[in-house]
Each structure stands twice: as C-alpha cells, then as structure tokens.
Structure 1
Amino acid sequence: MSMLTDPVAVAGLVTREIRAGERQGAPTRIAVARRTYATDPDDLWDTLTDAERIPRWFLPITGELTVGGRYQLEGNAGGVVEECERPKHFAVTWEMGPMISWLEIRLAPATEGTTLELLHEAAVDPDMWNQFGPGAVGVGWDLALMGLGLHLESGAAVDPTLALDFPSTQEGVQFIRTAATGWAEAAIADGDDPTLAREGAEATTGFYTGAAG
C-alpha cells in the first residue's frame, strides 16, 4: 500500500531556502521550508501544538507545551518552549544529546488556506555539511510535512508502520531524492559549491533510503 500516488508532486509542494545566520557570535545555517495547507490557521495550529494530535502525523510527545516548559518527542529531540503566540508562531530549542539547534514555526493566512514556514537553525559541522548538505536535516522535515499533509487531508492518523517503511519504497525513494535535490539547489543559491551540494543530495538520499548513492 502506497502513502503517495505522486511523490514528486508532493515533494514539490515545499519551497526550500538556505540562509546564513549567527548565534552568540558563531555562524549558523538556517533551513527554511514552506508549504501551504488547505485549512485555517487555528486548525493547523492545533495540529502542530496539541499533544493528542501531534502523534497522529509526527511522534508521541510529553512535557509541558507552554512557554518555559520542556517537551520530549519519543525517540527524537526534546527542548524548551521559548516563544508562543497562537495562532501565529512558536519557537523551541531542538536538543539531541549535547547538540542544540533552534526551531521556529510561523503560520500565515493564504488564499489556499494557511502557509506554514519552518525555520531550523544550527551551527554547522563543515565536514558533515560537505558530505550531506542541508538535506540531512531538511529531508527529515520534508517527511514530517508530508505526514502533516496526509493527516490534514484525511483526518486520520498516519499509519506508523507505513511511515517507517516509506523511505525504502519506490515512492519513498522518489520523494526523498526530489526533496534532497531541492535542498541542494537551495544551498547552491546561498553560495555553496554546486558539485559538492549535488553530491551531498545523493549521499542524503542514500542515508534516508538505505540505498547507495
């Protein structure tokens, strides 16, 4: 059973951008993803912030989802809620072991519904960036935004077994390769070496799908 009938088209619903940033005097890179969903801001906000709805498209979450509170995603990142303005934006730290980065979600009304803008900012390990580029982080968010779209369209929870198997399916490989290529092109637009960026996209595709190159 396939999760997507047209994985390339679904990957194309996301607009990707890379920006240079700075935190406490250290250089960072910011991965920006935008997608418009056919729902209103309040519904999208609840889908993103309600502990009962988040697992239907992402991962189980525990903690205090208010400013100053700590959250923990099952088997993934945790952190602190730093800002929250319903239904416009929230910002959290994104902590995995000793590595800390920053995530912000912004919502804005659009003609077709509501546009979600996701910004993930992190200090960059040059070796890791040269090997994988922004797709190492970006493709993970593409998969999350895909799951969010499937949940909003059907109202049902995404089957976790299908989600786990998706990257190794033919449709999953197409989706991930399209997304990784999109992140590479965004990095090139921000000044990255084109050859390294495109090689990084292939490495990212292999990482997520379990396939070589």
Structure 2
Amino acid sequence: MIDIVSQINATQREIANQAVATGEGRSLLLCRVYDAPIEDVWSACTDPERLSRWLGPIEGDLRAGGTFQLKDNAGGDILRCEEPRLIKVTWVLGEGMPTEVEVRLATGYDGRTVFELEHASPAQIVDELVRSYGPGGTIGIGCGWDLALLGLDLFLHGGVRFDPATWQDTPEGKEFAIRSCHAWGPAIQAAWGTSADDIATAIAFVVQHFAPETSGDR
C-alpha cells in the first residue's frame, strides 16, 4: 500500500511566470526531497532502462543535442545534460506547440537529493487552457507530474516498476489523483487570484477525468 497523503504532502507546488525560448511563459514548479544520493537519482532520470521502470519506455539519442521519445507520451530535443545536476528538454505531445521541461538536482541534508521539476509553456498555451477549461487545464498537467514523481519515489525505494497508465485506474490511483487535484488548488489560486468557487469547479472537472464516478471531496 502507498501512503498517499504522505506522497502528496512531500511535493511543494507553485505556478510562476517564466521566460521560454518563444517569449513569455508560465511554469509549473514541483519540488520534493528523495531519500537517495544525487548519483542514484540522476541515473534513474537518465538511464533508459531505469527510466522505463517509472516513467515509460524511451527511445532516442539520449545526449545533449539528441532527441528522445517516450512511448505513448511526449518527445523532443535534449537541450542540456549536465551530470549530475541538470537536464533540460523540449516536451512535445503530438502536433502541439513545444514546451520545456527542466529537472534540477542538488545534494540536500544527510545525503538526500533535492529534486526540482519545472515545466514551462508559452503563455498563450496556458492562457488558452484556462480560457477553454478554466484552471482545470493547468491542474491536469500538474496531476500528471505528481504521478511521475510518485513513480520515481517508488522506484528509488525498492526498484518498483511503476506503470502510471495502469495504476491510475485502480482505487488507490484514483484516490491519489483526487488528492493531487486538490493539492494544486492553492497554487492555481495564488497564480491567478481565482475564486474558491472556480477552484472547486476546476478540481471537480479534472477529478472526473482522472477518477470518473467519484465525488472528488477530500
């Protein structure tokens, strides 16, 4: 069994303005500490065999200047790869506009690793999501990254192979999704000054995507 509350609480979440290659952008920021040395976390994030055990099968020329493709997920260019502290890639789903994902690692207290993930999108993408779906569009992206960070933690602590697509359909996975949606509420509210009623509506919208036929109350 996964301690879902502890996993949700382990991550700090924020939304901020951030420049991207195409100009003004919006960033989702996630930060948590892993009880593993930085070299182990770096390897889990860059070694294709290990990466496939918690994020998904990956192919490509995995070096700075190369490309990558996650099975049934995003692909892109590898912009920077500075062992063992920084990875930056473009992140493209289908025919969508490129976004950027940067992972930063630092050695923390007692040999643990501080892990930061920043997903920066052109402002027009995020603003269009908000116009079309309300804050729920951004919450959905954040929930997806929460699931990835959970998978990394499970892998680092026991080598557990984690299949997000399968697990998120389980009762435990749906519980995690609901709590993740709620956890992003304060970050959305702080970024856009969204009303409590609009946040509640947005959370309910995303919950029905990740965990249909649930009330979403937490």
TM-score by length of 1: 0.89
Shift of 1:128: 3.8
How many residue pairs match? The answer is 207
User: Contact 1:133–1:187 at 8 Å: present in 2 too?
Assistant: no
Aligned to 2:55: 58
Shift of 1:181: 1.3
Q: Structure 1 residues 152 and 193 mapped into 2: Cα distance closer, same or farther (>3 Å)?
A: same
Q: Structure 1 residues 25 and 145 mapped into 2: Cα distance closer, same or farther (>3 Å)?
A: closer
Residue in structure 2 matching 1:111, options 71, 89, 109? 109
1:201 aligns with 2:200: no
More RCO (CA 8 Å, sep 6+): 1
Deviates more, 1:196-205 or 1:122-131: 122-131
Map 1:77-156; keep pairs closer than 5 Å.
77-99=74-96, 100-112=98-110, 113-123=112-122, 124=126, 125=128, 126-128=130-132, 130=134, 132-156=136-160
- In the alignment, residue 107 of structure 2 is paired with which amino acid? P
1:116-167 CA distance string (max 9 Å, x none): 1000011311324515142111100110110111111112323x3xx43432
- In the alignment, residue 103 of structure 1 is paired with which amino acid? V
TM-score by length of 2: 0.87
User: Contact 2:60–2:66 at 8 Å: present in 1 too?
Assistant: yes
Give 5+ residue unaligned stretches, structure 1.
none
Higher strand share: 1
Shift of 1:212: 5.5
Q: CA RMSD in A?
A: 1.8
Aligned to 1:44: 41
Q: For the residues of structure 2 that align with 1:102 and 1:134, how far apart are their CA atoms?
A: 15
Aligned-pair identity in percent equals 31
Regions of 4+ moved over 6 Å: none
